[in-house]
């Protein structure tokens, strides 16, 4: 049992063969070059360890538990065990995007990224669909762009604006290192001053510190009824953004705040973890309209005090 | 001002034409037959009102604020104003899927649906991608299937199992009424007893009261490293599900609980709404493995007391 | 079993006597005149029903399930069953303060009260102790004053300011109807304009729409190191209040937001309730200081944008 | 400005005197021997620093920012500035109980303490009042006992049971070092096996890993209608506890889960902190009854699956 695991009863027979080197899994489901692999230790570690690597023949992955040959993973089925030269065992699994963002050494952070826990909220509440034409303002490190680009489909395209050329460069490198489908263009341009080039856009997503400065431009870029989504971390930004949205012709405005808890994976002691992220940002949704509802005008004039 | 709105300054010129009946918006962005439209009142209502209708030439939509001719919406740009015969004004917007689920009269509930607030969490934490082969166990009313089918791409397919033939019928009708891309098959079959037909599946999503009865079948259906996602509303179900997952060869197990708050859309009084949904379900994620980590075995044997 | 309950095995013997009218419980633990009683139905009701009454010999309590004689409760032990003349059974229990606030017909709301779920947070984070001299600004309906007055001890006193004479009258009636220990004075006075009479106060608690207008007065009233606690429902108020606190000589400022969920009381389906209050207010805590930390001055000058 | 602070304008005159050594504050509000003092740095520190000390003439407090003479604090008003011999400035404030629990070096942890954020919820939802007779099962480190003992009044008393003699010793020392009013008795006794000595108790509070083993004893100890409060961190414990409560004659059962967020104290960037405690425990409340409601019996028999 010192190996840190036990073979699943249901597949013992099949695996006996594989373990004995007498067979492989079906071709379509084994690890191949360029695949991302997440290694999860089967031994005890002080804090959670996950390694992410991208498979290349003859490469060697180094970590404090020893070195692992990529060739030992290539051709193996996901969910099998690999060993470091020091004898430590890991399960090899396909990598989620959030594994890559957090653990792949070539992914560089130039800004706070949008948290994986918010990706889905943005997509689902914003009802972002494949084949949309999307404008993103604020490329940042490119993490959310990666999430979107993998879901934009063969007809969709993302135009992502970043005013800082250094950041844009790193985002481009990040995306290339992740092998993201090339369904995006990164533009180095300050939208607040220079506007948006595209028209008849389905969705404008904004993640910059001063979103109120680009809302007018978003209105012009959007098709009628088009969606605006704005990601802001502070209440002060919500206030300013909301005022601008309401006075520029956006309606059906909603503001959401997501809070996701991890539950402890212990069947005899099920409870939320004690500590974790309990806030990320406010997400504001709206739709381009031709009119400003009268109640917005009343609200904008009002001050409670 | 009795009209309940004001034209956006930026488009007044353009709209003057349209309001005067002298023009329309560009063709690609006006409402067309089969489109879903959400009508949001510009007048005050006691509680939030949203109407959803599907455009058909010569149809008339009836509500307590009067009747609205579909023809009055056809050819108009989203974000314009339509009036009922009683003089009530509404903004006409393209419908989100969650609008349709909640407000379209032809959508029938046969079960508690998965909440729109969870759709994105499932997709993002489960890293569900276009072109996957997905098995869903528990079609229910078809809401989540609709969400997925619109994002599965041209190469993906969803096999959705429902053991109750009546429910399956309603789900099929719901999906047809919503014009969801036909990238799914609904099968009337009890997975617990009859198993899953597909193999080498990317993702199995489970939303039935006793998920532990189908986990073995999910293991067989999944490709190595494939993803399992289980949606359960009570802690008791988490406990049983978790034990089964851990002993059947699933690893990288995570349990998430999402909680989404709406923030009041009032710039002078920004705060969360006072009341709302504060729980929906626990979402359990795992990946198919060939081995059972030894620490799982220890945990399964342990009882804290 | 049509009675809707079963006697606890452990006390069947003892209760046989009581049910047969052959005995009573010990004197110190039976219901007496002036006691508050909460009646909880033993039968099924559509939504939760709780009745609160105050015992007076020969009175009769009327509700839609029939009338109940106070005399039938007097002398009975809490936790026993009483019946209405229509045959409906209720458990009679001593009333919590929150039962009284919510269900006692003589308690009148003139304002939104501070929610019971926040009472304890204020007391514990504010470290409010018996025997303090407390100033409350904003008596409102008197609910929180009732909570405090029952815990202020024989040496403590609460000076509660209310600028609206009508409200003050109702609060006084509310408190008298609840038999709250008379450890308080309600003053009809507008603190923003007229200041606070007391000095060397331990704690100032503020629950008014514009707390920033009374913070200076609170500083003067407090003893050195004394505590200020401010209850505000919106972010906009937090911003203004915070600026005033920081510039007037308060330190060790903390802002808390409490969110309390009810868990469903079903052993076979344990989960949070689906819907409920998910916000009440922000609670701001600070302590009177002689100095303004330099970093506060920097923060007050800064604007992130 | 290198002093890290600025004198409050409103008290400059008064303070000029004090700073010049020409006067002190009124006697009742200056620091005296035995007082607890919290020192908060006026300079920047990497993570939050708070020191807690108890004043004794001629003592010297040592920390990494230098030594501070207790005599320099004695006789000073709270809210004034003290300096270490290395020139670092601190504000000296009276200590809250939670400061003491967390930062006083003589307070020793033998168990996970009940979090300060739960103290108030227990007190308020449990409606714990001064002058009650309370039984606590599970003394632990004594933190919650300290909270209660300071609020129990001159007629109340807490009987606290701890089965581990070593823990009991440390709890006694902790309480003595904190100068908590001696309104409690700590008993070294295993309630599960030996029961509770007291009768006609107002409240039983339970914080042990297996509360279901002491619930019967709590029933016997409580007066009719008396309150039971149970603190458990996992769902598994909730399930077992709930079953036992429902079958032993407790009614009006409620289960609460508190979640408290800290809001960032920055007026230009108000938002919740990103990370923190997002769970502590479930708190279960009930009242002693003579009967078991029939619906409890139905629920206990039911299993959803």
Question: Three-state secondary structure along chain B?
Answer: CCCCEEECHHHHHHHHHHHCCCCCCCHHHCCCCCCEEEEEECCCCCCCCCEEEECCCCCEEEECCEEEEHHHCCCCCCCEEEECCCCCEEEEEECCHHHHHHHECCCCCCCCCCCHHHHHHHHHHCCCCCCCEEEEECCCCCHHHHHHHCCCCCCCEEEEEECCHHHHHHHHHHHHHHCCCCCEEEEECCHHHHCCCCCCEEEEEECCCCHHHCHHHHHHHEEEEEEEEEEECCHHHHHHHHHHHHHHCEEEEEEEEEEEEEECCCCCCCCECCEEECCCCEEEEEEECCEEEHHHHHHHHCCCC
Strand segments, DSSP code E, in A181-233 are 184-188, 201-206, 222-232
| Mean predicted confidence (pLDDT) in C132-157 | 96
Question: Does A179 reach chain B within 8 Å, measured CB to CB?
Answer: no
Inter-residue contact A76 to A24 (CB < 8 Å): yes
- How many C-beta neighbours within 10 Å does residue A27 have? 8
First to last CA, chain D: 69
| Residue from the list B210, B236, B237 with its beta carbon closest to the beta carbon of D239 | B236
Instruction: Tell me if B289 and A8 make a contact (CB, 8 A cut-off).
Output: yes
Residue of B25, B147, B5, B26 whose CA lies nearest to B83: B5
β-pair partners for D246: none
Distance CA C179, CA C36 (A): 10
The answer to whether B245 and B219 are in contact (CB under 8 A) is: no
Please say if the pLDDT value at position B198 is more than 70.
yes
Which stretches of A64-137 are assigned E, i.e. beta strand? 66-69, 80-83, 89-94, 133-137
Instruction: State the Cα angle at D159 between D154 and D160, rounded to 5°.
Output: 130
Buried b (16+ CB within 10 A) or exposed e, A229-260: bbbbbbbbbbbbbbbbbbbbbbbbbebbbbbb
**In terms of DSSP bridges, do strands C201-206 and C222-232 run parallel, antiparallel, or are they unpaired?**
parallel
Cβ burial, residue C102 (10 Å; 0-12/13-18/19+): middle
Chain C residues lying within 8 Å of D121, measured CB to CB: 117, 120-121, 124, 260
Per the CB < 8 Å rule, is C278 touching B280? no
What is the chain D residue with the closest CA to A260?
D278
Residues of chain D predicted below pLDDT 50: 1-2, 27, 305
Three-state secondary-structure class, residue C227: strand
CA dist D73 and D124 (Å) reads 36
- Give the pLDDT score at A3: 62
How far is Cα A225 from Cα A247, in angstroms, rounded to an integer?
16
The residue of chain D with its CA nearest to that of B303 is: D236
Tell whether D155 lies on the interface with B, counting CB pairs under 8 A.
no
Distance of CA D175 to the CA centre of its chain: 11
Residue A88 is encoded by which pair of tokens? Answer: 């430590």
**Strand C291-293 vs strand B275-277: parallel, antiparallel, or unpaired?**
unpaired
The H or E element containing residue A243 is helix A235-248
CA-based angle D132:D133:D137, to the nearest 5?
125
Q: Is A242 helix (H, G, I), strand (E, B) or coil?
A: helix
Assign B25 a pLDDT band (cuts: 50, 70, 90).
low
Q: Is A268 on the interface with D (CB under 8 A)?
A: yes
User: Is a pLDDT exceeding 90 seen at residue B4?
Assistant: no
Distance CA A133, CA A199 (A): 9
Could you give the 3-state DSSP secondary structure of residue D17? helix
| Residue positions counted in chain A | 305
3-state secondary structure of A133: strand
Q: Which residues, 6+ apart, have CB-to-CB distance to A2 below 8 Å?
A: none
Task: Retrieve residue A170's tokens.
Answer: 């790193």
β-pair type (C89-94, C133-137): unpaired
Contacts of B234 in chain C (CB under 8 A): 269-271
Determine phi and psi for A236, rounding to 5 degrees. Answer: -60, -40
- pLDDT tens by residue, A125-137: 999 999 999 999 9
3-state secondary structure of C274: coil
pLDDT band (50, 70, 90) for residue B305: very low
Question: Facing residues of D160 across strands?
Answer: D136, D186
State the Cα–Cα distance between residues B300 and B242, nearest whole angstrom.
9
Is residue A126 helix, strand or coil?
coil
Residues B109-149 have pLDDT tens digits of: 988 889 899 999 999 999 999 999 999 999 999 999 999 99
**Mean pLDDT across the stretch A120-148?**
97
Q: How far apart are CA B232 and CA C105, in angstroms?
A: 41
Residues 6+ apart with CB under 8 A from D206: D136, D137, D138, D214, D215, D218, D228, D229, D230, D231
CA D294 – CA A90 distance, rounded (Å): 53
Integer Cα distance of B71 and B73 in angstroms = 5
Neighbour subunits, C (≥3 Cβ pairs < 8 A)? A, B, D
Alpha carbon distance C196, C216 (integer Å): 10
Substitution target from C118, C209, C235, C278 for chain B, most B beta carbons within 10 A: C278
Any C CB within 8 A of D282 CB: yes
Tell me the two tokens of residue D36.
């607890």
Structure tokens at C225: 């190191």
Contacting residues for B259 by C-beta, under 8 A, at least 6 apart = A258, A259, A260, A261, B278, B279, C278
Structural domains for chain C: 9-95 (3.10.330.20), 116-301 (3.40.50.150)
> Can you tell me the mean pLDDT for A188-212?
97
**Region of residue C22 (phi > 0: left; psi between -120 and 50: alpha; otherwise: beta):** alpha
Model pLDDT, residue D302: 82
Average pLDDT over chain A reads 92
Q: Does the structure show a pLDDT above 70 at C25?
A: no
Is D209 part of the contact surface with chain B (CB cutoff 8 Å)? Answer: yes
Interface confidence: ipTM more than 0.90 = yes
Distance CA C259, CA C123 (A): 16
Binding partners of B (≥3 Cβ pairs within 8 A): A, C, D
The DSSP element (H or E) to which C179 belongs, if any, is none
Confidence bin at C111 (pLDDT 50/70/90): confident
Rounded Cα–Cα distance for residues C31 and C25 (Å) = 10
Judged against a pLDDT cut of 70, whether residue C70 lies above it is answered with yes
d(CA D181, CA C282): 32
Neighbours of D20 (CB within 10 A): 8
Q: Which residues of D touch B236 (CB under 8 A)?
A: 239, 304
- What is the average pLDDT across A261-289? 96
Residue D247: HSE in the Cβ half-sphere, 13 Å Cα cutoff: 13
CB atoms within 10 A of CB B187: 18
Of C209, C236, C304, the CB nearest to A239: C236
Report the distance separating Cα C170 and Cα C222, nearest Å: 28
pLDDT tens digit string along C192-236?
999 999 999 999 999 999 999 999 999 999 999 999 999 999 999
The answer to whether C265 contacts chain B (CB < 8 Å) is no
The tens digit of pLDDT for each residue in C162-192 reads: 999 999 999 999 999 998 999 999 999 999 9
pLDDT tens sequence across D273-295:
999 999 999 999 999 998 999 88
Closest approach of chain A CAs to the CA of C235, in angstroms? 7
Judged by a CB distance cut-off of 8 A, whether residue B239 touches chain C is: no
Q: Is B239 on the interface with D (CB under 8 A)?
A: yes
Among D residues 4-63, those touching chain C with beta carbons less than 8 Å apart? 4-8, 10-11, 15, 18, 25-26, 28-30, 38, 40, 42, 44
pLDDT above 70: residue B303: no
The two structure tokens encoding residue B155: 């190469």
Chain A nearest C-alpha distance from D264 (Å): 10
User: What tokens appear for D230 in the block?
Assistant: 């149970």
- Asked if residues A262 and B255 have their Cβ atoms less than 8 Å apart, the reply is yes
Q: Which chains touch D (3 or more CB pairs under 8 A)?
A: A, B, C
Q: What is the DSSP letter of A114?
A: P
Q: pTM for the whole thing? A: 0.94
User: B149, B164, B161: which is closest to B187 by C-alpha?
Assistant: B161
The reply to whether residue A234 touches residue C210, judged by beta carbons under 8 angstroms, is no
| Residue C1 binned pLDDT confidence (cut-offs 50, 70, 90) | very low
Token pair for B99: 């609008």
Confidence band, pLDDT 50/70/90 cuts, at residue A202: very high
- Span D113-161, pLDDT tens digits: 898 999 999 999 999 999 999 999 999 999 999 999 999 999 999 999 9
Contact criterion met (CB < 8 Å) for B302 and A268: yes
Å between D114 CA and nearest CA of chain C? 13
Instruction: Report how far residue A130's alpha carbon sits from residue A181's, in angstroms, rounded to the nearest whole number.
Output: 13
CB of A217 within 8 A of CB of A276? no
Q: Using a CB-CB distance cutoff of 8 angstroms, which residues of chain B are in contact with residue D235?
A: 235, 238-239
Q: Tell me the C-alpha distance between A252 and A245, whole Å.
A: 10
B257's CB contacts (< 8 A; 6+ apart) are A260, A261, A263, A272, B279, B281, B282, B283
Q: Using DSSP, state whether C148 is helix, strand or coil.
A: helix
Window 96-135 of A, Cβ < 8 Å to B: 96-98, 116-117, 119-125, 127, 129-130
In whole angstroms, what is the distance from residue B274 CA to residue C128 CA?
A: 27
């Amino acid at each position: 049992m010192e190996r840190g695991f036990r073979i699943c009863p249901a597949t013992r027979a099949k695996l006996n063969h594989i373990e004995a080197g007498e067979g492989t899994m079906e071709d379509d489901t084994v690890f191949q070059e360029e695949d991302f692999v997440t290694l999860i230790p089967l031994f005890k570690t002080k804090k959670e360890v996950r390694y992410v690597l991208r498979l290349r023949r003859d490469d060697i992955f180094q970590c404090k538990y020893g070195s692992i040959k990529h060739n030992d993973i290539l051709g193996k089925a996901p969910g099998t065990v690999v060993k470091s030269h020091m004898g430590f065992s890991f399960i090899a699994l396909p990598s989620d995007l959030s594994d890559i963002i957090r653990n792949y050494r070539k992914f560089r952070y130039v800004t706070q990224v949008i948290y994986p826990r918010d990706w889905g909220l943005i997509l689902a509440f914003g009802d972002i669909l494949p084949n949309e034409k999307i404008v993103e303002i604020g490329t940042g490190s490119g993490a959310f762009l990666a999430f979107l680009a993998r879901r934009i489909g063969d007809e969709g395209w993302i135009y992502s604006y970043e005013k800082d050329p250094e950041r844009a460069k790193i985002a481009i490198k990040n995306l290339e290192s992740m092998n993201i489908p090339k369904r995006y263009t990164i533009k180095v341009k300050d939208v607040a001053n220079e506007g948006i080039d595209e028209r008849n856009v389905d969705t404008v997503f904004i993640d910059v510190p001063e979103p109120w400065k680009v809302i007018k431009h978003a209105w012009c870029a959007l098709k009628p009824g088009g969606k605006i989504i704005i990601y802001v971390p502070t209440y002060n930004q919500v206030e300013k953004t909301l005022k601008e949205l309401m006075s520029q012709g956006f309606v059906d405005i909603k503001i959401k705040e997501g809070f996701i808890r991890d539950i402890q994976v212990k069947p005899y002691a099920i409870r939320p973890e004690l500590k974790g992220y309990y806030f990320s940002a406010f997400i504001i949704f709206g739709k381009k309209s031709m009119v400003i509802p009268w109640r917005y005008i009343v609200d904008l004039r009002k001050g409670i005090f």
